[in-house]
Amino acid sequence: LNRRLAEFGTTVFAEMSALAAATGSINLGQGFPDTDGPEEIREAAVRALRDGRGNQYPPGPGVPELRTAVAAHQQRRYGLSYDPDTEVLVTAGATEAIAAALLGLLEPGDEVVALEPYYDSYAACIAMAGGRRVPVTLRPHDGAFRLDLDELRAAVTDRTRLLLINTPHNPTGTVLTREELTAVAELAVERDLLVITDEVYEHLVYDDAVHIPLATLPGMRERTVTIGSAGKTFSFTGWKVGWITAAPGLVTAVRSAKQFLTYVASGPFQYAVAEALALPESFFTGFRAEMLARRDVLTAGLAQAGFTVFRPAGTYFVTTDIRPLGESDGFAFCRALPERAGVVAIPNAVFYDHRDEGAPFVRFAFCKQIPVLQEAAERLGKLA
Ligand code: PMP
Ligand code: GLN
């Protein structure tokens, strides 16, 4: 294993899902729904397979039906116009989009300012691209993890090439506000930075939270690569269909890397996801309402069990603080939890460079059926 990757080991999601399987625990670790996406979209995939659409290499940028559907979705929801031919690229999940964007845009030694805690593949892909990550830590403030705008500005140096933003944010559930995003945008314009914004949870925002795509802010469309995922939006994480929208020059850069990673992926599923993106608004509101109900069940159970709960405004994850349980090391807590309670969770420390900052936080996924969440809450309630 080379020096760039040596520090990363095995992804925590693989480790924790294996632990869940081995111990028969309820898996609230890795974020995947325990209910598959809409039947009609599964049927669409079967139809594509049967009709021989996508069984051979699809076009490099993605099938035209899907690129058109992605552009229509950005237009309809956010008023963002993208040309399906030059400004949309289909990827093997958001994971490949992140990798290809970093590999295609970074020069060795470039600095990337990213919000810590960060989704694990960011750090690994920045390393693979020869970049240097510069974390800006989100810290608890009035019950939510917030971005310190002065710290963000201070993190930018002459070597900074890009900002890597994630909203709604995994693992904290924070949804960046218009004020925060405006500060990000002003900084990017002032320092002439590129921005990669991971918006895979764009449809999962709760209560008063609103998802604002960074590309809608002044000066941002031409410097922003926006990432979306069918895995997260339609509950088909195994299909590995993601996409980016960006200005033509940025798409070309990302595609230059992408063509040598997977070349193409998920042929028949691309056709099905094109249909999914055109589902009526009721699908999206229904999905959100379902996840909101699940959030409320799990957050209530966790609070009852004695955790400090940071009520997420978005995503399908909830971050907790385990210190009220007399614990302080999330790693040790999560390793012992299957044995102690038959539940698997993720130690947020894996998402930090500053491991100490993340030590007392533990993430639970709530994209599970309500009886499963109730059972998990009951088990966790017996911890104390
Ligand atoms: N970004 C974030 C913030 C995620 O939580 C995930 C995990 N689903 C991904 C990207 C990867 O998405 P995909 O499964 O589409 O590769
Ligand atoms: N995005 C998922 C999570 O945060 C995991 C995806 C993966 O296993 N790579 O749980």
In DSSP terms, 286 is beta-bridged to: none
For residue 43, is pLDDT > 90?
Answer: yes
Nearest CA to ligand 2 atom 3: 31
Q: What is the DSSP string of 303-369?
A: HHTT-EEE--SBSSEEEEE-GGGT---HHHHHHHHHHHHSEE-EEGGGG-SSHHHHTTEEEEE--S-
Nearest-atom index, ligand 2, CA of 31: 10
Instruction: Report which bound ligand comes closest to the CA of 12.
Output: 2
Sequence ranges of the domains in the chain: 3-30+282-381, 39-277
Residue 9's pLDDT band (boundaries 50, 70, 90)? confident
> Can you tell me the distance from the alpha carbon of 305 to that of 340, in angstroms, rounded to the nearest whole number?
14
Q: Report the candidate in 274, 373, 364 with the shortest Cα–Cα distance to residue 311.
A: 364
* Token pair of 41 as six digits: 């979209």
Give the separation between CA 254 and CA 105, rounded to whole angstroms.
7
Ligand 2 center to residue 138 CA distance, Å? 20
Residue type, 168: P
Q: State percent of the chain over pLDDT 90.
A: 96
β 139-141/144-146 pair status: antiparallel
Q: What is the pLDDT of residues 129-144, one digit of tens each?
A: 999 999 999 999 999 9
pLDDT tens for each residue of 152-190: 999 999 999 999 999 999 999 999 999 999 999 999 999
- Environment class of 143 (CB within 10 Å of its CB; exposed 0-12, middle 13-18, buried 19+): exposed
Domain 39-277 falls in which CATH fold? Aspartate Aminotransferase; domain 2 (3.40.640)
Classify residue 27 by its DSSP letter.
Answer: E
ipTM of this complex: 0.97
Pocket lining: 120 vs ligand 2, CB cutoff 6 Å: no
Q: How far apart, in whole angstroms, are the C-alpha atoms of residue 219 and residue 192?
A: 10
The binding-site residues of ligand 1, defined as CB within 6 angstroms of any ligand atom, are 31, 93-95, 119, 166, 170, 198, 200, 229, 231-232, 237, 242
pLDDT tens-digit readout, 13-39 = 998 999 999 999 999 999 999 999 999
Q: Which residues contact 363 (CB under 8 A, 6 or more apart)?
A: 171, 317, 318, 319, 320, 345, 346, 347, 348
Q: 3-30+282-381 adopts what CATH topology?
A: Aspartate Aminotransferase, domain 1 (3.90.1150)
- The protein residue with its alpha carbon nearest to ligand 2, atom 7, reads 13
pLDDT tier for residue 384 given thresholds of 50, 70 and 90: low
Please tell me the distance from the alpha carbon of residue 15 to that of residue 30, in angstroms, as a whole number: 9
The pair phi, psi for residue 198, each rounded to 5°, is: -90, 105
Q: Could you tell me if 168 and 144 are in contact, meaning their C-beta atoms sit under 8 angstroms apart?
A: no
Distances (CA, A) of 379 to 23, 243, 327, 342, 383: 14, 39, 17, 7, 7
Q: Is the CB of 168 under 6 A from ligand 2?
A: no
What are the pLDDT digits (tens) for 269-294?
999 999 999 999 999 999 999 999 99
